[in-house]
């Protein structure tokens, strides 16, 4: 059973890049596709207290919104006969990068697809701290995609 994790940054350019990459890929050998977004928990300090966004009672609402956005990625991504099980996950955490690594290990992911932005060519391959972290710590094979020129 082959499992692929797609780490998704929800900005428009990243979503477009990932969607194009998914359409070009062969999925017949893949049983599960995990679309995962790491939602960074924001903590703010005031004079007398700490505040966080989202608050714990908002987690489900955030997860539902993210799940809807992740669902848009798979529309038209699979050809006839290539319909792996799709799992959408929003990880709300102070450290999204490490949380995605841990998710991949926990779920026995075989390959991870990530995107990178910034410079192009070999110099730009590792311009993202997220991509650098994944190259060093991912418990599986990586496929790194970038915007087409």
Choose among 81, 101, 83, 82: nearest CA to 91. 101
Which domains are present in the chain? 3-146 (3.40.50.620)
Choose among 125, 89, 93: nearest CA to 109. 89
Per-residue pLDDT of the chain (149 residues; tens, 9 = 90+): 899 999 999 988 888 888 888 888 889 999 999 999 999 999 888 788 888 899 999 999 999 999 999 998 888 788 877 889 999 999 999 999 999 999 999 999 999 999 887 555 555 555 558 888 999 999 999 999 877 66
Residue carrying structure tokens 């350019």:
13
Contacts of 65 (CB under 8 A, 6+ apart): none
Kindly report the pTM of this predicted structure: 0.87
Choose among 73, 96, 89, 90: nearest CA to 21. 73
């Amino acid at each position: 059973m082959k499992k692929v994790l797609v780490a998704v940054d929800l900005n428009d350019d990243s979503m477009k890049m990932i969607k194009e990459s998914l359409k070009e890929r062969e999925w017949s050998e893949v049983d599960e596709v995990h679309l995962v977004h790491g939602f960074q928990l924001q903590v703010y300090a005031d004079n007398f207290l700490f505040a966080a966004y989202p608050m714990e009672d908002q987690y489900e609402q955030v997860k539902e919104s993210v799940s809807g956005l992740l669902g848009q990625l798979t529309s038209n991504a699979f050809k006839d006969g290539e319909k792996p099980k799709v799992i959408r996950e929003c990880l709300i955490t102070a450290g999204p990068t490490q949380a995605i690594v841990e998710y991949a290990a926990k779920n026995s992911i075989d390959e991870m697809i990530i995107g990178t932005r910034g410079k192009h060519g070999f110099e730009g391959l590792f311009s993202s701290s997220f991509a650098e972290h994944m190259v060093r710590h991912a418990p599986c094979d990586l496929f790194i995609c970038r915007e087409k020129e």
